Structures are given as structure tokens and as C-alpha cells.
Amino acid sequence: MKLDDLARVCIALGKEPDYFLQMGSMRSAASVGMVMRAEVAALPQDDLRESLEEFLNSVSETAPTTAALPDLHHLRPEAAAREVLDIAVRQFN
């Protein structure tokens, strides 16, 4: 799920993003989706619940996007950040 999609669901459910993401260890995408679906299923408004269920279904059917960044694990954090910035500047200029 893209961040803007997560933001829309958070607004609709009146939850902060960390409600879905925070845990002692990272939640898997599947468990985040299950928490969202459980929250949506509990909504008393039929129209809102149905709309959010359709939205979550469309998000889950959409193929995830992959980052177009190169593998930078061999660089120090400063060098990696500089490389990512250079890539972004080249793409947006």
C-alpha cells in the first residue's frame, strides 16, 4: 500500500498511521491489511464500510511498485544519501 493510500484509510477510520504499523517488531503487510479490514468491518456506517472495503480490495489487487534505486548497501549512510539525492535531482530536472 502506498503512503497516500494509508493516509486516506487513516483519515476515514480516524486512526493515526502508527495504529496500523506500530509493534515491537515490524508487522507484515498482510497483518496490517488484516487490522485495517477488521477496523473497516466494525464501522457502523454501511456506505463508508462498503466504500472502504472496495478501496482496500482495489489496493490489494494492484501490483506493488518497486523502487528504481540502485543497491547502495555497500556505501556509508552519508554516501548513500548523497547518491539517492543525486538520482532524484537527475530525475526531476
Same domain, 93 and 78: yes
Same domain, 56 and 37: yes
pLDDT score of 25 more than 50: no
Phi–psi pair at 73, nearest 5 degrees: -65, -25
Same domain, 52 and 88: no
Q: To which residue does cell 485495517 refer?
A: 36
| Total number of domains in the chain | 2
Residue 87: what pLDDT? 82
At 33-90, the pLDDT tens digits run 788 888 888 888 899 889 989 988 888 787 666 666 677 677 778 887 888 888 888 8
What is the extent of the structural domain holding 57? 3-61
